[in-house]
Amino acid sequence: MSTATSAPATTTWNIDPAHSSAEFKVKHMMISNVKGSFSGLSGVLTEHAVDSTLSSVEASVPVATLSTGDAQRDGHLKSADFFDAEKYPTLDFKSTQVAGKGDAYEVTGDLTMHGVTKPITIRLKGGDKEVEFPKGTKRVGVVSTFSVIRSEFGVTAEIGNLGDEIPITIGIQASK
């Protein structure tokens, strides 16, 4: 009988950029909402089989993929007035703590946007059901809706004309 113990298994899920997105909306002139999205999400979800506190999330979104359906507005949002995509080409998240089980996880981590890193907590729903597609490829999906205060990240252009609190919805499909 061996006295060696093996560490509990972890599962690594790679975010599928083609099937994942981040959507946002912002109050415009404080009377209506403008919606937009980012594509090209990438990253890794690491799930610990026994202890969720040993799980982790890392994700990155290229700012250049921002789209609101209006090329002129998109260019302005990517400019130094807002995201400054040339200087800060990605939005990045790295977890510092994961808690939860089944289909609900609370993930705390550091969000870096516009060169500023701040802690945020998001709730991920899903991930408890695996599907196989194509044959041999296991997939899971998670979603979250949360808000960020853009001025806390140094994105302060047009405060008053544009909302400061930005609701964000992410949908992630990942495969192992």
- Ordered by where they begin, the domains of the chain are 19-175 (2.40.128.110)
**Do 130 and 137 touch, CB atoms closer than 8 A?**
no
Amino acid at 139: R
- C-alpha 162: how far from its chain's center? 22
| Percent of the residues in the chain that have a pLDDT greater than 90, as a whole number | 74
Cis status of the peptide bond prior to 119, with omega within 30 of 0: no
Of 3 and 107, the one with more pLDDT: 107
pTM comes to 0.89
**Alpha-carbon Rg for the chain in angstroms:** 18
pLDDT in tens, 44-62: 999 888 888 888 999 999 9
Candidates 83, 82, 13, 5; CA nearest to 41 is 13
